[in-house]
Amino acid sequence: MVDIDDLDRRIIQALMADGRASYGAVGAEVNLSAPAVKRRVDRLRERGVISGFTVKVDPALTGWTTEAYVELFCSRSTSGAEVLRRVEAYPEVIEAFTVTGDADTLLHVFAADMQHFERVLSEISAEPFVARTRSVLVLSPLLRREILSM
């Protein structure tokens, strides 16, 4: 994909395991000095390979425990950009994709409860470009983890 070498990959993996690990600790894992690790991390950030650092919070503790995937059947060929412009106004929508298959767009939605979800769904359904929706509600999350490839 991009010119990141094996050392970069190992640094990223170490930081994926613990994003607050000191550069020295990361360096110990990859056999590099702390300044060397920092320089590489800085460069990875500059190039956009690393877009930032975050905290992993138990999703149940946000208060928004109702999770659903909503397929959008768009009336006519609406552009992805326009769909994005409309759906990003809903903080409940955390992911949006254009997809293959019957539907045109897939939305990943979180809401506080069923009533909240129903309200959001009816609002999205009322958007002019939406012909029809099909929702799949998450009953229980079995697995949630990060991509590890590379």
Partner DNA sequence: CATGAAATAATGGCACA
Partner DNA sequence: TGTGCCATTATTTCATG
Binding site for DNA (CB under 7 A): 7, 22-25, 27, 31-36, 38-40, 43
Total residues found in the chain within this entry: 150
* Residue span binding a second copy (CB under 8 A) among the ranges 29-37, 88-96, 119-127: 88-96
Distance CA 95, CA 109 (A): 7
Q: Kindly state the smallest distance separating residue 19's Cβ from DNA, in Å.
A: 11
Residue 39 or residue 85: which is nearer to DNA going by CB?
39
What torsion do the CA atoms of 23, 29, 32, 33 make, to the nearest 10 degrees? Answer: 40
Per CB under 8 A, 119 contacts a second copy = no
Residue 29 or residue 127: which is nearer to DNA going by CB?
29
Q: Kindly state the smallest distance separating residue 43's Cβ from DNA, in Å.
A: 7
Q: Kindly state the smallest distance separating residue 147's Cβ from a second copy, in Å.
A: 5
Contact 108, 93 (CB under 8 A): yes
Contact 103, 56 (CB under 8 A): no
Per CB under 8 A, 143 contacts a second copy = yes
- Tokens read off for 22: 């000191």
The number of C-alpha atoms within 13 Å of 149 and in the hemisphere containing its C-beta is 3
Q: Kindly state the smallest distance separating residue 27's Cβ from a second copy, in Å.
A: 15
Q: How many CB atoms lie within 10 A of CB 10?
A: 16
Distance CA 112, CA 67 (A): 9
Binding site for a second copy (CB under 8 A): 1-2, 4, 12, 15-20, 48-65, 67, 69, 71, 80-81, 83-84, 87-88, 91, 93-101, 103, 105-106, 110, 112, 134-150
